Structure 1
Amino acid sequence: MTHARDPLRARAALATGKAAGRLSQALGRGSGSMIGGRLALRVDPEVLRAVAGDRRTVVVTGTNGKSTVTALVAAALSPGGAVVSNSTGANMTDGIVTAMAADRESGLAAIECDEVYLGPVARGTRPKAVVVLNSSREYTRGVSLKSTLEHWRHTAATLPDDCVAIVNVDDPLVSWAFETAPRRIGVSGGLYWRDDALVCPACGTVQDFTDTSWSCPGCHRSRPEPDWTVVQDGDGWAVEHAGGRTRLHVTVPGRTGPVGGAFALAAADALGVDVDAAAERISAVADVDGRYAPYRVGEHQARLLMLKNPAGWAEAIDVAVSTGRPLVVALDPFGPKDTATMWEAPFHRLAGREVYVTGGRRADGLAILDAAGVTVREAPDLESAVTGHAPGEVVVACNYPAFRRISKQFRGSTH
């Protein structure tokens, strides 16, 4: 296989990284995926190219939804052979090196990539497809949206000719950033949060939006026609594309699941995998690192959503509104900016509904939802928040620390 041709420096780098990872595990400092990959890159900055080899890779990036769509892409590619993926969420270059080094035999790869690392990851993996979901501000790390878009636009221009950019044409920021790609495929991926895309990135003019489209009166850019579109199909979902219509069953609630499935089908098709077989494999994805799988709480089922910015909260609100399911908000302390971003989210859409708020930072959530006209109830713990609703399925919207705490607490209670 490819690794037999690894240069001496790459072999030394991988050996160093593997030893560091084992030491980290032995000391109880974590999985070792980050430190192992980081040291390997210090020994050989080109080690990602060595571990990527000649396998056919799909890289998934965007502000929100990367982990979910990467899991769907991995499933969609699987009819074409074994797939390696960084399923633990270590999505920077060091974590990707570790994931690929751990599996040198798989001929396919589905890689989640942090948006600001797309350039080096694309250079190292030489992907056949890059999936770009959305773009909005990322407060928790202080990442500049402007610099991210410029980084994407430069990276898009340097993608190899045999790589296709699979982009969300409903997001004008993504559309602009990947205009420079040699090949593009459009997916109608939705835009739950427009506030970051109000100004045209090309000319600075305020853009016009309708329910389904956008255009710029300044430079006359407009939404391209999508090649892959999610449509309702009876009581379910389907994806329309040049090959026809493919019915899609996903367990992720709301429109989030089928839209992610559309990106995954487009990626599978780009790599020559049969679309119907890909759709069948997608339907088996029930859990993404603790997200979405139903956690039993008494006579209730709790589905966790992990959110980190206004765009994510807007999507969770849309899930609650579109499905009619009760909503619980769980917040734990996570830096001064974390809950501040929630003030921008459209919680007014829940006005008149009863929402329970729990967690170590629930006072912030109570104030935010109360100001939006929501009937809020304080709950001392998740169980009382969930069981405060009628038996059935409940959507639990969590910030990052609350998600980690709750998913660990209920691990093993899925069914």
Structure 2
Amino acid sequence: MNLKSRIAKFAGKSSYWFLHNVLKGGTSFPGKLAMKFDPEVLTSLASGYETVIVTGTNGKTMTTALIVEALREKYGDVLTNPSGSNMEQGIVTAFLAHKDNGADRRIAVLEVDEANVKLVTKLLQPTCFVLTNIFRDQMDRYGEIYTTYEKIVAGIKLAPQATIIANGDASIFSSVELANPKLFFGFNLPSDQQQNDTTAPVNTDGILCPRCDHILHYHDRIYANLGDFFCPNCGYQRPQLTYSVNRIIEQNPNRLHFQMGLKEYTIDIGGTYNIYNALAAYAVARHFDLSEDEIARSFSRNKRVFGRQELITYAGKKIDLILVKNPVGLDEVLHMLDTEQDNYSLVTLLNANHADGIDTSWIWDGQFEDLNHDQIKHILVGGERSKDMHFRLEVAGFEPDNMTTCNNYEEVINQLAQLPTKKVYILSTYTALLALRKAMAEQKIIKAGM
């Protein structure tokens, strides 16, 4: 480590100590400060680490958390960026914050924003890339899904020795020839749970064959563009899977029970999309030589992470706080709510800041119409674009008399206590989620920070 890097590291660590011990927060500023002194400080900080980069549109944070929990089962200490601060400055902060305990095998598992994969890869040369999925998301920032994948591929090409561990059910991930070793994961459900030959709805992204532009068919479509795809025109098809989910045994908003290989696994969280996240974590853990028993133990201890079905208890309510940010993610959360057996109240918080994506038209792609309206006893609507969401829900058939619009987050919190059900689901965009958590922390409902 040269003098410039030493100064950068000292400045970053000092600012991190001050922010977290005096001001009680701060996830990216120490990284920004260190990079002022040395723009390539990440290279020095990451030296000696086997680094796993987790990227894709949806599921990065949960997949990263599950991988970390699994690897800690065998290797103890694992460095990560748990706050979800997944751009370069946040990743630098994660290294600055980590206390190296001298583990024999130094491993870092990093959630990385899709547009930052190339930049981060240049600096730390990863061991693995984990690719979750690519869906339409923040069109103003990422563009179409093919543009997003081009950004990821540009990073992967800088590390041809790194193993790609990719979702084989996403046709885009096998569409580009890359020199890297590859492992694919996906769903191989029993024949009685399959659809045999089907196509995706016409408004689904990423369903054209990468070779001939014919519409892809599916032996079994799990959701959106994910499944056992094949092209009836040119023969392009899903690659051979190394790891797969073989059976879904039980699903509800608070529990998933499924089988991979010969063993059954349980995680205390809902949504088919989280089975994919668990499968990705399983594939990485097996690649790092964990046994199935070690993986099962780690899954049984999984923690709900920031905004990803984060569980909050307040005023006698059991509140699930769920980040939604794009049409596919929203739709899958709505499908998860369909597995709820009890009555509940629904809260929707919609912002349109840069971190959310300034275009809110994606809320029209979510199938709110399919929710069990009788089960939802009241709706709270908030955020800077609450009028847009209120109108969307009216069009979906919800009665305006059963909806309350909140003008600020303190009012949201006050109204939460008045809701008629014990169970509450909050669906929120990113900056609204941050604002709500900040307001809750100020009222001592939750702890500050992430």
Which digits, 9 at most, give the CA deviation of each residue in 1:229-286, with x for residues without a partner? Answer: 232236752342xxx3332221222223333222111111111223321221222222
**How far apart in 2 are the matches of 1:137 and 1:386?**
35
Instruction: Deviation per CA, 1:38-90: give whole Å up to 9, x if none.
Output: 34335434322221122222211111121111111110110222011111111
2:381 maps to 358
Q: Does the CA-based 8 Å contact 1:165-1:181 persist in structure 2? A: no
Structure 1 stretch displaced more, 19-28 or 109-118: 19-28
Aligned to 1:345: 366
Correspondence for 1:394 among 424, 444, 448: 424
Q: Which one of 249, 253, 257 corresponds to residue 237 of structure 1?
A: 257
- Return the alpha-carbon distance in structure 2 between the equivalents of residues 207 and 332 of structure 1: 34
Question: Given the alignment of the two structures, is residue 333 of structure 1 paired with residue 351 of structure 2, yes or no?
Answer: yes
CA contact (8 A) 2:54 2:60 kept: yes
Q: 1:35, 1:94 within 8 Å by CA — same for their partners in 2?
A: yes
- Shift, 1:338, TM fit: 4.7
- 1:36 aligned partner: 30
Cross-structure match for 2:215? 206
- State how many pairs are aligned: 403
2:184 aligns to what?
186
User: Are residues 42 and 192 of structure 1, via their aligned partners in 2, closer, same or farther at CA, if it must alter by over 3 Å?
Assistant: farther
Aligned with 2:426: secondary structure?
A: strand
Matches within 5 A, 1:57-68: 57-68=51-62
Would the alpha carbon gap of residues 121 and 239 (structure 1) be closer, same or farther in structure 2, given more than 3 Å must change? farther
Runs of 5+ in structure 2 lacking a partner? Answer: 189-198, 222-226, 407-411
**What amino acid is aligned across from residue 381 of structure 2 in structure 1?**
T
Change (3 A) 1:224 1:15: same
Tell me: CA distance 1:385–1:16, structure 2 relative to 1, closer, same or farther (3 Å): closer
Range with greater deviation from structure 2 (135-144 or 246-255): 135-144
Aligned equivalent of 2:192: none
Amino acid at match of 1:110: V
Q: Secondary structure at the match of 2:310?
A: coil
| Cα pair distance change 1:28/1:410, threshold 3 Å | closer
1:3 match: none
Looking at structure 1, the residues matched to 87 and 293 of structure 2 have their Cα atoms a distance apart, in angstroms, of 32
The whole-number CA distance in structure 2 between the counterparts of 1:189 and 1:90 is 30
After superposition, what is the alpha-carbon deviation per residue over 1:127-168, rounded to whole angstroms, capped at 9, x for unaligned?
32221111122227522233321122233344343x321111
2:434 alignment counterpart: 404
CA contact (8 A) 1:168 1:175 kept: no
The answer on 1:284 being equivalent to 2:309 is no
Provide the identity percentage. Answer: 26
- Once the two structures are overlaid, the 10-residue window that deviates more, 15-24 or 326-335, is 15-24
Alignment-derived partner of residue 108 in structure 2: 109
| Structure 1 residues 251 and 409: CA distance shift in structure 2, 3 A | farther
Q: TM-score, normalised by structure 1?
A: 0.84
Q: Evaluate the alpha carbon distance shift between residue 346 and residue 198 of structure 1 in structure 2; reply closer, same or farther with a 3 A threshold.
A: farther
Distance between the aligned counterparts of 2:174 and 2:440, measured in 1?
39
- Does 1:85 find its partner at 2:65? no
CA contact (8 A) 1:255 1:319 kept: yes
1:264-275 correspondence to structure 2 within 5 Å: 264-275=281-292
Which of 379, 386, 391 is the equivalent residue of 1:367? 391
Residues 330, 383 of structure 1: CA spacing in aligned structure 2 closer, same or farther, 3 A cutoff?
farther
Which residue identity is paired with 1:214? F
How big is each residue's C-alpha offset from its partner over 1:337-377, in whole Å with a ceiling of 9 and x where there is no partner?
35322012222322644461421433222221232345563
Instruction: Mark the CA change 1:382 to 1:338 in structure 2 (over 3 Å): closer, same or farther.
Output: farther
Supply the distance in 2 between the matched residues of 1:192 and 1:73 (Cα, whole angstroms).
Answer: 30
Q: Which amino acid aligns with 1:206?
A: I
In 2, are the aligned partners of 1:203 and 1:219 still within 8 Å (CA)? yes
The Cα RMSD (Å) is 3.3
* Contact 2:345 2:419 (8 Å CA) reproduced: no
Distance 1:382 1:27, change over 3 A: closer
Cα deviation per residue 1:300-356 (whole Å; 9 max; x = unaligned)?
A: 311111111112211211111234454613224334835322012222322644461
How does the TM-score come out when normalised to structure 2?
0.78
- Relative to 1, partners in 2 of residues 1:199 and 1:68: Cα closer, same or farther, differing over 3 Å? same
Residues 265 and 358 (structure 1), Cα distance of their counterparts in 2 relative to 1, 3 Å cut = same
SS at match of 1:308: coil
1:99 to 67, 84, 94: 94
